A and B are shown apart, each in its own frame.
Chain A
């Protein structure tokens, strides 16, 4: 008899929005082997599915994601080998996180609670972050004698500068939603009671935006993060040339003129 596979990740597509939900609330959404597999599949599918115009990554229960399932890492009283640790990062996390950052549609982290360790890496790899006041970002690696991973050594200094990033890496102390908002890491802080609604509103709003133009914006930013100012200007000029030839531009200008005529 086939046993039902646990759903560590829940996926819903609704109104152009692809919801990917960490679904292990009893474990504060810790990421284990099965979670990685299902999360990887969900992210890949969200990128492929044309019905998904915006992706929301969020958690069920009180946490966004509490990081790697440490009980699994030391399961059976046996530590995972160092080589395994490296291989999981290179072969499993790396492709997923890269896909999240480069897929041609907006990805929103809806931080319904704390994002810890590799969980914070996921939140930071998203394009936009929206959080409840109780949420926080925590680079917990130091607390178990590890170094930052999941791309935060690259992402966090770009978002907050090296000073704050080092403080987080060295102390293992949380960065509260309020402080993260003040630093520009979290776009909006929204009270629990309005959180779901506001996330849904933002996602729905983005799902109605011209998709190619949003994809181009994401491509331009990702290209610019690795180029000189002049290279970025030139790359933009070509992207804009392609976008100026699109139906989105024709429609956009017509709508603009119609709005102005009404005034």
Chain B
């Protein structure tokens, strides 16, 4: 399939280069502030890419300079609790939660507040060496509202999470790597390329297995061990009903590389 840039979005760019796609947050003037429209577009794009069988992995990036510096504060300063509840902006990431394929964040510059939480929702994070990740909400008298208080401790542990939430200062790419929050640190000008390369690696694997693996790993954060193990076992047995499992194992025995169809 030829390269293709989807049209119809105002706040993001979507580029499909099968078998991967790249979503770029594209509000550079406001450091990719996460407006309701931008969030809606990301969700929509992910929905389309989930349904597109030519796409097997997706990179989510903010481009060369900034990932996303949180929400639009000027828009929030005078809102009431009821306004916020009704808009429920922070809860509207259902598209990411439902996305079944590998999703890789390519983070350059600041990933702050909602921007950092968005990166944490992805499956892998590749960071440029100048990246800074943090939850500075406390400096504004609020707390993270899109999963930060829950995903940070699950990934980086309680004490690192507390440091970031209570002091409001971001961590460097290097520190984030040491905390296990970031998979790889590369020179900033290569972040997107590196993430796309990793997406292509993931796209070569058996899609159904990738989907089951992702589901099972995400379950680990939400279930007791016995229940998670049960999910894993069922998925494991289920995959023996797929063509990809036959292909994968025969290719291994024949010392060739498996070609997976997602069937």
Contact = CB atoms under 8 A, between A and B. Distances in A.
The reply to whether chain A is a binding partner of chain B is yes
Contacts of A235: 129, 185-187
B24 to A, nearest CB: 19
Interface string B191-203: 0011000000000
A238 B174 contact: no
B190 interface: yes
Nearest to A245: B189
A239 B187 contact: yes
A219 interface: yes
Nearest to A246: B189
A50 interface: no
Contact of A242 (B174, B184, B185, B189): B189
A255 to B, nearest CB: 24
A241 B129 contact: no
Interface string A223-240: 100100000001100110
Given A226-B174, A235-B185, A242 B129 contact: no
Contacts of A241: 190, 193
A81 B118 CA distance: 45
A226 B187 CA distance: 15
A217 B184 CA distance: 20
A234 B190 CA distance: 12
A219 B129 CA distance: 9
B106 to A, nearest CB: 13
Contacts of B187: 216, 219, 235, 238-239, 242
A173 B66 CA distance: 49
A226 B129 CA distance: 12
A223 B129 contact: yes
Contacts of B185: 235
Contacts of B174: 226
A59 B194 CA distance: 44
Contacts of A219: 129, 187
Nearest to A241: B190
Nearest to A242: B189
Contacts of A242: 187, 189-190
B129 to A, nearest CB: 7
Nearest to A212: B189
Contacts of B129: 219, 223, 235
Interface in A193-217: 216
A234 B129 CA distance: 13
Nearest to A216: B187
B132 to A, nearest CB: 15
Interface string B164-207: 00000000001000000000111101100110000000000000
A141 B174 CA distance: 31
B182 to A, nearest CB: 13
B191 to A, nearest CB: 9
B103 to A, nearest CB: 22
B201 to A, nearest CB: 14
Contacts of A216: 187
Contacts of B184: 234
A237 B189 CA distance: 13
A242 B185 CA distance: 15
A141 B85 CA distance: 59
Contacts of B186: 234-235, 238
Contacts of A234: 184, 186
B128 to A, nearest CB: 10
Nearest to A226: B174
Interface string B127-161: 00100000000000000000000000000000000
Interface string B252-263: 000000000000
A78 to B, nearest CB: 33
- Determine which residue in A219, A223, A235, A238 has the highest number of CB atoms from chain B within 10 A of its CB, and name it: A238
A245 to B, nearest CB: 9
A241 B193 CA distance: 10
Interface string B71-96: 00000000000000000000000000
Interface of B: 129, 174, 184-187, 189-190, 193-194
22 contacts: A216-B187, A219-B129, A219-B187, A223-B129, A226-B174, A234-B184, A234-B186, A235-B129, A235-B185, A235-B186, A235-B187, A238-B186, A238-B187, A238-B190, A238-B194, A239-B187, A239-B190, A241-B190, A241-B193, A242-B187, A242-B189, A242-B190
Complex A-B, nearest 3 residue pairs according to Cβ-Cβ distance, in ascending order: A238-B190, A238-B186, A242-B189
Given A239-B190, A242-B189, 6 more contacts: A216-B187, A234-B186, A235-B129, A235-B185, A242-B187, A242-B190
